[in-house]
Amino acid sequence: MQKGIIDRFEGNFAVIEIKNNTIDVPKAKLPKEANVGDQIIINGDCITLDIEGTKRLREEINALADDLFEE
């Protein structure tokens, strides 16, 4: 099992970042509701969304942005 983050979509592929490396995965293998920035769990040929992981990542990013743009 691996966790990754959807970095971007290029044509029919999703570019997934896993531990500072990227892999290309056919978009057809992802859940239909998958979006850029979502955290996913890859377990063999099965790819699922990590909803809680995605929520945590977005909260961390928002906190960092808030700190960066404080007056």
Greatest pairwise CA separation for the chain in angstroms: 47
From first to last of its 71 residues, what are the pLDDT tens digits of the chain?
999 999 999 999 999 999 999 999 999 999 999 999 999 999 998 999 999 999 998 898 888 888 888 76
pTM given for the model:
0.83
Taking the CA atoms of residue 32, residue 34, residue 36 and residue 39 in that order, the dihedral angle to the nearest 10 degrees is -160
Number of H helices, E strands in the chain: 1, 5
What per-residue confidence (pLDDT) applies to 23?
95
Q: Which domains does the chain have, with CATH numbers?
A: 2-68 (2.30.30.140)
What per-residue confidence (pLDDT) applies to 46?
93
d(CA 13, CA 59): 27
What per-residue confidence (pLDDT) applies to 71?
61
Q: Does an H or E element contain 24, and which?
A: strand 21-26
What per-residue confidence (pLDDT) applies to 61?
86
